[in-house]
A and B are shown apart, each in its own frame.
Chain A
Amino acid sequence: GDSVTQTEGLVTLTKGLPVMLNCTYQTTYSPFLFWYVQHLNEAPKLLLKSSTDNKRTEHQGFYATLHKSSSSFHLQKSSVQLSDSALYFCALDNYNVLYFGSGTKLTVEP
């Protein structure tokens, strides 16, 4: 069945460093992938989405490229800020249902 894998549960970085959060997926359909971000005690919000192979999509300094050849949609940022500390979810759309990965908690330290 459809699934999403996020390999890092916790990532801790110093402000100003680059970050990459991994996301791989499995689906029998043409993939639609999302990144949602959830700050502490808040609701999740959409960060990025894509269904186009090999096209970089960007928002708020974050970027990701869907690679169908490797079934990946990794999230990156060149320089993390303290405000980026949050829980990040990768998700896969399967028509009526959105499958979320287990999430990666990013903590940015001064």
Chain B
Amino acid sequence: AQTIHQWPVAEIKAVGSPLSLGCTIKGKSSPNLYWYWQATGGTLQQLFYSITVGQVESVVQLNLSASRPKDDQFILSTEKLLLSHSGFYLCAWSPDWGRENTLYFGAGTRLSVL
């Protein structure tokens, strides 16, 4: 069975500090990977997606970057946090490329920027 693990579970960071969030998928080779952001009680906004190692596509510009250093790993980062970065960050994977794919979400990382 496939598992998805996100770290850390929660972070409290200062404005202007750097950030690195991670996600690992086990049990599935070459998954499609995604990062989503959710404001408290709000909708899900797709940030990035990746279909292969070393290749990441940006969907929205929020002063964040993403990388896929390994087949099973997806990293979200920024050098300088903004207050607006607060929220819930969800990593997700899907098994195949194409439409009508189910997304499987990780448990998420709750970020508070103060």
Cβ contacts under 8 Å, A96 to chain B: 49, 57, 59
**Can you identify 23 A-B contacts, CB atoms within 8 angstroms?**
A32-B99, A32-B100, A36-B44, A43-B90, A43-B107, A43-B108, A44-B103, A45-B105, A46-B102, A51-B99, A51-B100, A89-B43, A93-B99, A93-B101, A96-B57, A96-B59, A97-B46, A97-B59, A98-B34, A99-B46, A100-B45, A102-B42, A103-B42
Contact between A49 and B102, CB atoms less than 8 A apart: yes
Interface string of A83-96 (1 = CB under 8 A from B): 00001010101011
Interface of A is mostly: strand
Cβ contacts under 8 Å, A91 to chain B: 44
The total of interchain contacts (Cβ-Cβ below 8 angstroms) comes to 49
> Residue B100 contacts which of A44, A87, A93, A97 (CB distance < 8 angstroms)?
A93
Contact between A100 and B102, CB atoms less than 8 A apart: no
Contact between A49 and B90, CB atoms less than 8 A apart: no
Cβ contacts under 8 Å, B49 to chain A: 96-97
Q: Count the A residues whose beta carbon is within 8 Å of the partner chain — how many?
A: 23
Contact between B46 and A89, CB atoms less than 8 A apart: no
The minimal Cβ–Cβ distance linking A50 to chain B, given in whole angstroms, is 8
Contact between A44 and B99, CB atoms less than 8 A apart: no
> With A and B bound together, what is the CA distance between A4 and B100 in angstroms?
16
Given contacts A43-B108, A44-B90, A98 and B43 within 8 Å (CB-CB): no
At the interface, yes or no: B87 with Cβ under 8 Å from chain A?
Answer: no
User: Which 6 A/B pairs are nearest by Cβ-Cβ distance?
Assistant: A43-B105, A100-B44, A32-B99, A32-B100, A46-B102, A102-B43
Cβ contacts under 8 Å, B44 to chain A: 36, 44, 89, 91, 98, 100
Contact between B59 and A100, CB atoms less than 8 A apart: no
Of B43, B45, B105, the most chain A CB neighbours within 10 A belong to B43
The minimal Cβ–Cβ distance linking A56 to chain B, given in whole angstroms, is 17
Nearest residue, chain A, Cβ from B106: A43
Cβ contacts under 8 Å, A89 to chain B: 43-44
Given contacts A43-B106, A43-B108, A100-B44, A95 and B90 within 8 Å (CB-CB): no
